Chains A and B, each alone.
Chain A
Amino acid sequence: MHESAIVVDGLRVVRGGQPVIRDIGLEVARGTVTGLLGPNGCGKSTLMRAIVGVQIVAAGAVTVLGHPAGSPELRRRIGYATQEPAIYADLTVAEALRYFAAVLGAPPSDVGRVIHEVGLEECANTVVGSLSGGQRGRANLAVALLGTPELLVLDEPTVGSDPELRDELWALFHDLASTGVTLLISSHVMDEAARCEQLLLMRQGRFLAQDTPDALRSRTGAPDLEQAFLRLIKEQESTAP
């Protein structure tokens, strides 16, 4: 149980002839909350797809919980939520969750638990297609929480949520981490970055930095992470040939 939750080495992904991930490496320790930040189109979602094992990669190795990404052993141990809700729009929240729970072999009581965790109790019997965007995002997140995942890969899980709910979700993420669950969470909102223990700043398929929020602030001398990120971009551009 001492190995890292995620180890990526020399990963390269090409989509439509264009390099999307350019030889990156990273390591995520177990039981931590890691933020994956960067502008839209920088390769965050592609990196997450490679980690859950649904992305065809051009080169490199991705090891998750000690197994190569995409291994059958991992399919019960990873919870994954895409940015676009991937949940049956013509089922109610509870019906859709019941189905995914059955596929995962999770107990039926999990459905009520995850509905409570994402605060969708009032909408449990509402058809997903008639939920608001934020509620649909939470239903999508609920699917990833089913069963007992050891790793959660969440692509922009708080988009469309109001500040109060976002706060509750981040509290939930830290609770999960304290029980040993590893979380990799993408966001393009910098104020969420401060809530992570480790940050991966991504730009154009590469990492600008991999560090703790405090270390990033002190290294760049920036008052907040948004400024720190901008300074890192300038630094990279001035050193680029």
Chain B
Amino acid sequence: MNASITLATTRRILTQLRHDPRTVVLIIGVPSLLMILLRYVLNSEQRFSGLAPALLGIFPFTIMFLLTSITTLRERTTGTFERLMTMPIGKLDLLFGYALAFGLLATVQVVVAAGISLTWLGLDIAGSVGSLLLITVLDALLGTALGLFVSAFARTEFQAIQFLPVFVLPQFLLCGLFVPRDSMGWLLSRISDVLPLSYAVDALTQVTRSATIDGTLIRNILIIAGCAVLALVLGAATLRRRTP
């Protein structure tokens, strides 16, 4: 690991985004638009407050997953990845550079969406806004890390997009948003236990309902962060300096 190379990578990715303002507007605006849509579809502040925190975690998770899997795949297909691999950059320098750049972007995205939800849309949570933001930013980072990881298994951008329904939608169905996790069948409940998004939704639900920060909440937050780091390290393990 080399901090200056990691930071140079982060700066490079942010510069690339600066040349593509439309993407930046989409990244920052879409979750907020979806929250506004959700609020008026439900047409009740109370029902909105029940669902919104979980979705504040899920929307950035999904968008960051898609964004990173495409971007890193592009790095491979255009040959810049191979070029970097002939240079003194570590695989983790590259991945943490990505995680940092997209993490910054995700933070802006989450702050805007949560800010609009808490003020204009009347989201009312019992816990602290700080915990809500922390968990949603971690969710977005988790999406980033998983996107980096799965991009190793895609050869084309077409395949990478297909990984969204494969990796994200099952987590969406099993995370407890539609049916409480403890009322699912044994098998589904076990599957739900190993999917990181379940812990994110658990943590967000708890922040909505209560102001206490207990061991369960801290454990759930650590699980989300741990899964993000694990996905990054696994992602590094899939990168190869030598290829056929």
Q: Interface residues, chain A, CB within 8 Å of chain B?
A: 15-16, 52-56, 70, 72, 75-76, 78, 80, 82, 84-91, 95, 99-100, 102-105, 127, 143
Residues of A within 8 A of B157 (CB): none
* A55 and B86 within 8 A (CB): no
Main secondary structure of the interface of A (DSSP, over half): loop
Residues of B within 8 A of A143 (CB): 83
Q: Which of B205-244 contact A (CB under 8 A)?
A: 241-244
B7 closest partner in A (C-beta): A102
Max chain B Cβ within 10 angstroms of own Cβ: one of A52, A56, A95, A103 = A103
Per-residue contact bits, chain B 40-82, to A (CB 8 Å; 1 contact, 0 not):
0000000000000000000000000000000000000011101
* B242 and A54 within 8 A (CB): yes
Q: Interface residues, chain B, CB within 8 Å of chain A?
A: 4-5, 8-9, 11-12, 15-16, 19-20, 78-80, 82-89, 241-244
Q: Cα distance A166–B101 when bound, in Å?
A: 39
* B78 and A86 within 8 A (CB): yes
* B242 and A90 within 8 A (CB): no
Q: Cα distance A54–B244 when bound, in Å?
A: 9
* A86 and B82 within 8 A (CB): yes
* A80 and B88 within 8 A (CB): no
Q: Cα distance A95–B5 when bound, in Å?
A: 15
CB < 8 Å: which of B20, B78, B83, B242 contacts A70? B242
* B79 and A53 within 8 A (CB): no
Given A90-B19, A90-B20, also A76-B83 (CB < 8 A): no
Distance in angstroms from A79 CB to nearest chain B CB is 9
Given A75-B88, A76-B88, A91-B19, also A56-B243 (CB < 8 A): yes
* B244 and A86 within 8 A (CB): no
Q: Cα distance A95–B4 when bound, in Å?
A: 16
Residues of A within 8 A of B4 (CB): 102
* A99 and B12 within 8 A (CB): yes
Distance in angstroms from B115 CB to nearest chain A CB is 29
* A56 and B88 within 8 A (CB): no
* B242 and A72 within 8 A (CB): no
B16 closest partner in A (C-beta): A90
* A102 and B5 within 8 A (CB): yes
* A91 and B15 within 8 A (CB): yes
